Chains A and B, each alone.
Chain A
Amino acid sequence: MSALLRQSRVLKLGGIIAVFAVALALPAISPDPATTNIAVFTMMYVGLATAWNIMGGYTGYISLGHAGFFGFGSYTLGLLLAHLGVAAGYTPFLLVPVAGLGTAVLAVAIGWFALRTRAATFVIVTIAFMFMLQLLAENLVGLTGGGGGLSFPVPPWGGDYFNTPYYYAMLALATLALAVSWRIRRSKFGLGLLAIRDDEDKALAVGVPTRAFKLTAFVVSAALVGMIGAVYGYYVTYIYPQFVIDPLIGISMVLMVFLGGLGTLSGPVLGALILEPTQLWLAYNFGATRLYLVLYAGVFLGVILLLPRGIVPSVMELIERRRARAGPSASTPAKVAAR
């Protein structure tokens, strides 16, 4: 059995390296801007879904307000660049962590209040906070430019190369989110988060400091989303309150996680790789209509009805079952723990 285990581990590692190599080489393989634009947004959602999953998947606290953190990170970088007079180029990328830090501070404050509630109330509170941020961005005209939007410096590079730096920035953040998610998933802290997901009061009864754990997960998740939002702002070069603090961004990351598998490591990646290119393909072919919303609604219904636990857990269970049936020698105990 250990040989089998080692074999599957080698296979897994090989797969990860292969996917990563393709991701690294992508701008060289297909340099035309139409493709790399899709790649930037897809990688962005890989990062967003993975970051959201750290809170939503591990602790079971469904936040529909993460778009607020996305926009906040975006505005933080935009304002930093404007006030510090940073020239366009590669320097703005170095300030992305500062935007993440700012978002983390905001998340401590919001989490402090929001995490006094649970379940449906928590969902509503996160939505409310998101709209509050949107209203602030619209009305603090002196700071944010209000409905007129906020502009970022336009980078000096162009042509086929234009998207490439943003793609690598998004790839780096997605990789960071995955590394953090992986580390948390197998840590003592992560086990505490999963215990909270299963039964919060019971977790408290066996000594898990639930408030501190939930807040930490919330802040880590928000900070990653804020950094991704910052790169997004620099990429699109102009942000408006209603488009950067957009409930649809928040809902998209949630849907991707549900499709791929809530609480799994690879599920959010898979969900983003499926949904985001599809959405952009629809946008390219049917104009910038919101037709993709109909598709999203369909996917959401499909997931709820057919794959309530998402693709990854369902497929894993199928494999386990088949392996168990294949022969008693190779069968491990019926551990259908969907990871």
Chain B
Amino acid sequence: MSLLQVDGLCKRFGGVVAVDDCSLSVAQGSITGLIGPNGSGKTTVFNLVTGFIPKDSGSVSFKARTIDGLGPDRIYGLGIGRTFQLARIFPRLTALENMLVPVRRRGLRALFSRADWGHEKARAMEMLEFLEIAHVADLLGGALSYGQRKLLELGAVMMAEPELVLLDEPAGGINPALLERIGDRIRRLNERGITFLLVEHNMSFVMNLCSEVVVLHRGRPIATGTPEAVRNDPAVLDAYLGA
């Protein structure tokens, strides 16, 4: 069953067609990779799906219900989380506060009561421990290393218990040891039932982690399938090597 269904998505920036009649689906419980050469429209697809930029045409549905026209905060509330290409965290909030911002509360009274409820804090600390960055909980976000920021961003997104998480280059710019940790944590979160769609340039990372891969070229999917099948697809080789 597909959790996220994208149909005929189009987006033009002036004369540039960034996303061109793009259709793809993300199966529930999968780790789906979205790959393609630079400028093929991967991040734009993320921005369209999460409501950051308006689409020219096409539709997006999540759990068989359309999410067209909703803003990013509403879409996050429905259960689609995302991370950004260059880890974005709140630099002047502590790591723990960074974790508490995404926690959802219902009702006005809850909104105006203390930001650090015990059980929310406990959940945040649990997640920080899971990512092995609990020791920096009281440090300001701006004082963390790039790798720690990446882990923090991932952890924070998980705090609202999303069903689908879009990761924009989770392996970008970090050392091999951390790469392994991030890959492992994504896999373990996936085992807990969270579906991932990730954009990534590190092919071995994608091949190891993903159960399904979509290849984007000039804003349009040119191949879909298992990592092995996609790797040997002549259209994909063409797109990457240029023909």
A interface with B by C-beta (< 8 Å) = 183-184, 186-192, 194-195, 197-199, 201-210, 332-337
Q: Which residues of A contact B143 (CB under 8 A)?
A: 334
| Known A188-B110, A194-B92, A333-B139; contact A205-B160, beta-carbon cutoff 8 A | no
List 8 A-B pairs, Cβ < 8 Å: A187-B111, A189-B111, A198-B92, A199-B89, A201-B52, A206-B156, A335-B138, A337-B92
Q: Which residues of B contact A208 (CB under 8 A)?
A: 73, 101
Q: Is the CB of A337 within 8 A of B71?
A: no
B interface with A by C-beta (< 8 Å) = 50, 52, 71-73, 76-77, 81-82, 84, 88-94, 97, 100-105, 110-115, 138-141, 143, 156-157, 159-160
Q: Is the CB of A207 within 8 A of B73?
A: yes
Known: A191-B97, A203-B101. 12 other contacts (CB 8 A): A186-B115, A188-B110, A188-B113, A188-B114, A191-B115, A199-B90, A203-B90, A205-B84, A205-B88, A206-B159, A332-B138, A335-B140
* Central interface residue in B102, B111, B140, by most chain A CB within 10 Å: B111
CA distance A204 to B100 in the complex (A): 14
Residue of B nearest to A198 (CB): B90
Q: Which residues of A contact B50 (CB under 8 A)?
A: 205
Per DSSP, chain A at the interface is helix
| Known A198-B90, A335-B94, A337-B94; contact A206-B111, beta-carbon cutoff 8 A | no
Q: Which residues of B contact A334 (CB under 8 A)?
A: 139, 143
CA distance A168 to B81 in the complex (A): 50
Q: Which residues of A contact B140 (CB under 8 A)?
A: 335-337
| Known A204-B73, A207-B104; contact A195-B138, beta-carbon cutoff 8 A | no
Q: Which residues of A contact B88 (CB under 8 A)?
A: 199, 201-202, 205
Q: Which residues of A contact B102 (CB under 8 A)?
A: 206-207
| Known A333-B139, A335-B138, A337-B94; contact A206-B112, beta-carbon cutoff 8 A | no
Q: Which residues of B contact A186 (CB under 8 A)?
A: 114-115
Residue of B nearest to A192 (CB): B101
Q: Which residues of A contact B103 (CB under 8 A)?
A: 188
Q: Which residues of A contact B139 (CB under 8 A)?
A: 333-335
CA distance A337 to B84 in the complex (A): 25
Contacting B91 at CB < 8 Å: which of A190, A198, A201, A206?
A198
CA distance A190 to B139 in the complex (A): 19
CA distance A207 to B114 in the complex (A): 18
Q: How far in angstroms is the closest Cβ of chain B from A182? A: 12
Q: Is the CB of B111 within 8 A of A207?
A: no
CA distance A202 to B103 in the complex (A): 14
Residue of B nearest to A209 (CB): B73
| Known A186-B114, A205-B84, A206-B102; contact A194-B93, beta-carbon cutoff 8 A | yes
6 pairs of A and B residues whose beta carbons are closest in the complex = A206-B102, A198-B90, A207-B76, A191-B115, A204-B72, A202-B88
Q: How far in angstroms is the closest Cβ of chain A from B169? A: 15
Q: Which residues of B contact A209 (CB under 8 A)?
A: 73
Q: Is the CB of B115 within 8 A of A188?
A: yes
Q: How far in angstroms is the closest Cβ of chain B from A193? A: 10
Q: Is the CB of B112 within 8 A of A187?
A: yes
Q: Is the CB of A191 within 8 A of B100?
A: yes
Contacting B105 at CB < 8 Å: which of A188, A195, A197, A335?
A188
Residue of B nearest to A338 (CB): B92
Contacting B73 at CB < 8 Å: which of A189, A210, A332?
A210
CA distance A206 to B102 in the complex (A): 5
Residue of B nearest to A201 (CB): B52
Q: Which residues of B contact A204 (CB under 8 A)?
A: 52, 71-73
CA distance A189 to B76 in the complex (A): 17
Q: Which residues of B contact A188 (CB under 8 A)?
A: 100, 103, 105, 110-115
Q: Which residues of A contact B81 (CB under 8 A)?
A: 206
